[in-house]
Amino acid sequence: MSTWEIVIFTLIKILVIFTIMMLTVSYLVYFERRISAWTQNRLGPNRVGWEGVLQPFADVFKLLLKEDIVPEQAEKKIHSLAPVIALFVAFTTYAVIPIGPSFNFFDYNISLVVADVNMGILYVLALTSLGVYAITLAGWSSGSKYSLLGGIRSSAQMISYEISMGFSVGGVILLSESLRPIAIVESQGLWMWNAWIQPIGFITFLVSAFAETNRLPFDLPEAEPELVGGFHTEYSSMKFAGFFLAEYANMIISSALIITLYLGGYQIPFIDITTLGLAHWFEVLIYITAFFFKMGALLFFFLWVRWTIPRFRYDQLMNLGWKVMFPLALLNIIWVAVLIMVFNL
């Protein structure tokens, strides 16, 4: 492929992924509201469109029409920059997540990932660390004590959990012998999902993912009873929407990452569909569907947990991060190393 063709294909992929992300984020918000309602014996938004399906658009219009208030005490530039960082991090991370195997389109071989980078996992970890900046800067630049406290909590929380997250990933990399997301997916084969092989690593990663996305039970940066809105207390209108979108985009990234690392990516368990003799395009379609199905299930899990488990106390959060998750992640690496030694995987 020529450079031009690569650029064009990449742009198309970015466009597709971006559109899918935006739509998923919007509908994630919608489902969050409906699922929260169902768990509380309510109906949730069901007025705009059939069963409320147009609610996300109404929400966006509302946010767009709201007045953008910047506090007098705020660092104006950074205040405006923070939500942009949050969004940027959330969307760019998605570049390395494969949603299906590569396929042939006319004469081109297209892989279903924006950038098939050989150190993709490092890229992801690097970018998620950057996400801390968005929240910390937002908290600091608002000039409000609630925002500041939320921002500080957030940075401490994210740094703490990044450690166990990184170590959990270590186990996966040991097994797959590669940092390339596609290689990791393919190394898991049909049923050898990392979730089965290294359940401790899976759990530590899952918990860390929750903490990294600031979702309940780890949403201390915006703990309403004590911090009003946390780091986004002083945000309104589209800047607030930026954080809001980033939070949900992060959820999508996290689930995609968990699928890639632990749940076999786009593969279907136990059934090798290549042996069924289906058309190539149909196989690809099945893979993509499998990926999105897994993602949907994980996202539902995210929402489900949020409306079930109450928020941690801050010291509990730190205890859990340092005294439980971190040793467990280390244990997981040893476990994987032993497995490799014993079974010569």
Partner 1 sequence: MAERIRKEDLNFLERLYIPEIVKGLALTLKVMFKPKFTMEYPEVKFIPPSSYRGRPVLVMEEDGTERCVACGLCSRVCPPLAIQVQAAETESEKERYPEKFEINMIRCIFCGFCEEVCPEEAIVMSKDYELAFTNREDALYGKEKLLVPVHQLQDRIDFLRNYK
The residues that touch partner 1, with contacts defined as CB under 8 A, are: 35, 37-43, 46, 203, 304-305, 307-309
Of the pair 27, 307, the CB lying nearest partner 1 is at 307
C-alpha to C-alpha distance for 262 and 301, rounded to whole angstroms: 15
C-alpha to C-alpha distance for 35 and 54, rounded to whole angstroms: 16
Smallest distance from partner 1 to CB 208, Å: 15
Smallest distance from partner 1 to CB 266, Å: 26
Radius of gyration over alpha carbons of the chain, in Å? Answer: 21
Of the pair 133, 307, the CB lying nearest partner 1 is at 307
Which residue is listed with tokens 């166990």?
A: 164
344 φ, ψ to 5°?
A: 55, 45
Of the pair 39, 236, the CB lying nearest partner 1 is at 39
Of the pair 127, 303, the CB lying nearest partner 1 is at 303
Smallest distance from partner 1 to CB 167, Å: 19
Smallest distance from partner 1 to CB 41, Å: 5
C-alpha to C-alpha distance for 70 and 48, rounded to whole angstroms: 31
Smallest distance from partner 1 to CB 303, Å: 10
C-alpha to C-alpha distance for 202 and 212, rounded to whole angstroms: 15
Smallest distance from partner 1 to CB 215, Å: 14
Of the pair 37, 125, the CB lying nearest partner 1 is at 37
Smallest distance from partner 1 to CB 329, Å: 16
CB count within 10 Å of CB 272 equals 10
**Residue 75 token pair:** 């660092």
What are the Cα distances from residue 203, in Å, to 83, 92, 247?
30, 25, 21
CB count within 10 Å of CB 285 equals 14
Q: Are 115 and 122 in contact (CB under 8 A)?
A: no
Residues written for the chain: 345
Burial class for 41, CB neighbours closer than 10 Å (0-12, 13-18, 19+): exposed
C-alpha to C-alpha distance for 52 and 32, rounded to whole angstroms: 13
**Residue 37 token pair:** 């309602």
Smallest distance from partner 1 to CB 39, Å: 5
**Residue 194 token pair:** 């990392």
Of the pair 175, 298, the CB lying nearest partner 1 is at 298
Of the pair 46, 92, the CB lying nearest partner 1 is at 46
Of the pair 88, 307, the CB lying nearest partner 1 is at 307
